[in-house]
Chains A and B, each alone.
Chain A
Amino acid sequence: MTYLLGISAFYHDSAAVLVRDGEIIAAAQEERFSRKKHDPRFPKRAINYCLGEAFIDPSDLQAVVFYDNPMLTLDRVTKNALTVAPAGRGQFVAACRTLLGAKASLRMELEACLGEVPRLLVTPHHMSHAASCFFPSPFDSAAILTIDGVGEWATCTLGFGADTKIELLEEIRYPHSLGLLYSAFTSYCGFKVNSGEYKLMGLAPYGKPRYASLIRDALIDVKEDGSFRLDTQAFGYLDSPLMTNARFHDLFGGPPRLADAPITRREMDLAASIQHVTEDIVLKLVAHVFRLTGTKRLVMAGGVALNCVANGRVLREARLEGLFIQPAAGDAGGALGAALSASHELFRTPRKVNPGRDSLKGSYLGPAYSTHEVEDFVDRADAPSDHVADPDERARVVANALAEGQVVGFFSGRMEFGPRALGARSILGDPRRPDMQSRMNLKIKFRESFRPFAPSVLAEFAADYFALDQDSPYMLVTASVQPSRQLATAPLPSVDDDMMKVLSQPRSDIPAVTHVDYSARVQTVGAEANPEFRRLLQAFHTRTAYPVLVNTSFNVRGEPIVCTPQDAYRCFMRTGMDLLVLEDRLLWKNKQPTLNGEQWNAEHELD
């Protein structure tokens, strides 16, 4: 057997993935174990988990594969400094700290973690992304599109995968980057780069794309084939610690929004504008890669592939014959691609393709906890619980609680790999309730009130609720709520800055998951999904006639998604959740002892 360990680390979202003869055995991000959001450190805890999941020792590993080439990144950093000097001194110093420090000491880290250093391999950053989305896909061959901030020199690559080979055909290089452009607007609108892009995307439907022409005229030139180049004179990231500079600020009417300042019409319109421009570019890139490769099956990865609104437009408008987006599309997924690339292209492992079914196992690739471990935990924690051994009865009780408006923390089976909760580590609610979105945002997640929640729907009923004609198991595309379910809303003054007025109007019979533009980021829950979660959806359907639940990740703002029963209980007790399901045990909030002296917001930095 060939065991390969993929690693991503030392920028953000470090992760480890174990592959055995091409099969993905385990995958997890370090943050889930260390409890530090976006943890960039060497993923020693994730590695320990992966080896333990497979019951192997480090000596069983044929190789460790790193997800990008630090030598080429150092080359870029040096040449960037030579291009912008005398500016950019601080950037160069900070880059040296990592590239000549932590990133250059991978061998030492491996030795400390594993007790030995297996054969050490590397794959280029965008090749890792390409491999992460093509090899697990349900396609024998497919066009490949990867888009992110930057990896080594590339920011976007177009390629073709067939059987066990990937060929990258064209690329765009630094400093011209769609990911960095989107991040520049994220930063300008007062959100954190690397975590706030999702907020900007969620804000976009509140605005109008009135700056889109200005962005195209002044910031980015897009050719017919989707290739693009930025006017870097308006950006700060080449030579300063800021994404944007005075020229950018002059273009868009003033300085950046401060993080704690109110969100105004300007930010809403900026969000709508950059979202619109991004979608148009992605669509052009997709059309071009189809022309290049002669196929209309598409696989995507890279941070920009997490833009589910753009993905939704690709699904609707690109005339695809198939779409697969790898759910850990950001850098964590690079570990997956690194291991799979080496497995198929170096160790010559044959690739098994199941048409219509990817090989990611629903992305349930993280740790699970047995009912005995849960029992031990609740005993140890003196946490009163009801043991409901019968799965159908358990689902019925939980569905009833949801139907009565209770909010449920749901912990079941193996943890998801990637940023989305898919029913293994989820907080669930009733989507029919108009107050559920604001309640879950403010009292459970403690996050901004404008952010939408996603629906999980039984796959066989998805088309009754959403304009979606293919499965979306990983919650990576948006689709409109079916027109027959939409409700008309009262017109608001177009200059109104109060998002709450916009937000508080019910827009469908599932208002808690219907965004202001009637869109929803859908997870279809089919036979391959977590069986316990699917059973709960079926029970909720039986109880309410609605096969849909609100599904958000099991964490609070700034906290990584929970991993262990302890994490789940702590999060449950600190928030307004009513019921915690820990495998076969139900823990009701009103039966729990008071948790004194613990403040989640003192522990987790806000994102």
Chain B
Amino acid sequence: MDDRRVLTVSGLSVDYLTGSGPVRAVDSVDLELEAGEFLGIVGESGSGKSTLLYAIAQLLTPPAEIAAGSVEFLGRDLVQLTRAQLRHSRWRDFSVVMQSAMNALNPVMTLEAQMRDTCEAHTEMRSEEIHARSVEVMRLVGVDPIHLRSYPHQLSGGMRQRAMIAMALLFTPQLVIMDEPTSSLDVVAQRSLMIQVKRLQERLGFAVIFVTHDMSLVGGIADRLAVMYAGKLVEVGPTRDLFSRPLHPYTRGLLEAFPSIQAVRQRLIGIPGSPPDLARLGAGCRFATRCTDAIEVCAATDPPAENIDGRTVRCLRVKGWLGHAEQ
């Protein structure tokens, strides 16, 4: 076991308990994360990426629950911990940055008051220490500490998101989990925020899991990418490799689905069809109905995860394309 390994997710499955039985939103996900690594999880709405994130952070609420698997973080399985033990770990060892600051921040408290709340909930810090730390994290994210006295609605969208990141860094955690934190921002503010995150990561050394539906957003910043479809990870590997030579047809489709400002203007097709209904899955590959490379066996067999070329891919045809011997 690599002692630089920060997170090991094994066989994690999450079910939503509906009136007509459990629906599996996340299916046997395996992930590893090294210290200081930036992992991007990319998928469409409904792929289960947010559910996966919340499952890792142990933030699931009924009717969602973890059905199987483990989340080993710093040597302990988070799934098995009691609430009290989790509370001790939460925010000090790992923290979460939500999608919209306006929803996550308390609108009737100043930033300083919220940071104080957080500090008091997790530590025994004295008042002066809390203030000093609050000022420090605000400076870290590039927001003037004078805004500690502001209410969330008095700040711009970009500043609010930075304030959220500041709060997430209060105890310099080893892992920061981010759920599409730039989706409410304009392109210039978005770029600023991404740069800020990268700078902080290099300076403080924390690992990041970044969930998004926009692959191009994390393309220039993530070390590894995990592509998620219909509850399963279909391709995981180094970012450069995924972009230059995507193996899974879905990854390829994703890359070709957004227009690039650098490219010549020509018609793009995107991926026809829509994601499957998770309550009514067939036996075979979940992407088969939309896959332009699907063959007969794809509809019958659910591809296992295989390690190929330094990546993990779930596709029956990849080995054939790469000229490897059939298993």
Do A and B belong to a common assembly? no
Give chain B's interface residues, CB within 8 Å of chain A: none
